[in-house]
Structure 1
Amino acid sequence: MSRRTARPRRPSAAPAPEVTAASPCPCGLPAPYAECCGRFHAGAPAPTCEALMRSRYTAFAVRDSAYLLRTWHPDHRPDVLDLDPGQRWLGLEILETTEGTAFHTTGTVTFRAHYSAGGHRDSLHEKSRFVRHEGGWVYESGVFAD
């Protein structure tokens, strides 16, 4: 069986601004990065599938491909994840969540992630499915909503 390689768009312009521990968290919650998604990137488990979704969005924003791969279900994870250094993640809207709490084994998060790439602004609208794997939440799959 061959493994997939996830490759976003061709690289463009300058790198994204650096996110520090004290920076506002890119996920949009009112907490500094270190107290919000940064703690998950550092190894704390995300308590809900929405928290995992937010931390994965933030991992795209800070280009933490290791975290993205670590939180991707092993049956669906690509071998390599090349992130576009010119892509800027501009904001996240959580539109709907179903299940995905400490009392569930599955959950979904429907979201819209805004970005710019190559001088164009756009958004990604997806319904993501999360499952518990080896005790923690992982991203299993997603369906584009638009």
Structure 2
Amino acid sequence: MLCPCGTGREYEDCCGPWHAGEAAPDPLATMRSRYSAYVLGLPDHLRATWHPSTCPAHLDLEDPDGRRVVWLGLTVKSHRVAGDRGEVEFVARYRVGGGSAVRMHELSRFVREGGRWYYVDGDLS
């Protein structure tokens, strides 16, 4: 199976190891693994890669009305690492229920602690 994150690589050679618990090497791999976790319905991975200071107490992968979110694609615009901090700018597309596609553009911030990268927060535009 091709990885949902859009690299064109097989899942087992892309986000699969991060979902199995290995530490992703950088913010870009962490962000791609998080996108794939949304696609595949893996809330435990999302929580494990979310910094404890900003991780929500409850994580629901459906919209507030209980409709299924279908992820349609990911485009990485840029990524930067400076020491133990990093940023990834991306556009993700999704559809809620049978509705129109939605475009989400975010600049995400990551921090490395204990050898692991964590999503801290992001700015939507």
- Give TM-score, length-normalised by structure 2: 0.91
Report how far residue 130 of structure 1 moved. 0.3
Q: How many Å separate the matches in 2 of 1:86 and 1:127?
A: 24
> Are 2:6 and 2:73, in contact at CA under 8 Å, matched by a contact in 1?
yes
**Percent identity among equivalent residues?**
43
Residue in 2 that maps onto 1:95: 77
- Name which one, 1 or 2, has greater alpha-carbon Rg: 1
SS at match of 2:93: strand
Question: 2:16 & 2:39 partners in 1: Cα distance?
Answer: 12
Cα deviation, 1:99-123, whole Å, max 9, x if unaligned, reads 16xxx20010000001111222111
1:98–1:108 Cα contact (<8 Å) kept: yes
Identify which of 12, 33, 54 aligns with 2:32. Answer: 54
- Whichever residue aligns with residue 97 of structure 2, its letter is G
**What residue in structure 2 maps to residue 39 of structure 1?**
17
Aligned equivalents of 2:58, 2:44: Cα separation in 1: 9
RMSD: 1.1
Taking the aligned partners of 2:13 and 2:115, their CA distance within structure 1 comes to 22
Correspondence 1:129 to 2:90? no
- Structure 1 stretches of 4+ moved >3 Å: none
Residue from 72, 85, 95 that aligns with 1:116: 95
TM-score, L = length of structure 1? 0.79
* Structure 1 residue 133, shift from structure 2 partner: 1.7
| Matched-pair contact (CA < 8 Å) for 2:23–2:115 | no
| 2:5 corresponds to | 27
Q: Which has the higher strand share?
A: 2
- For structure 1, the residue ranges without an aligned partner over 5 or more in a row are 1-22
Name the counterpart of 2:43. 65
Deviations 1:43-91 (A, max 9, x none): 1110010000000000000010000001000011111101116111111
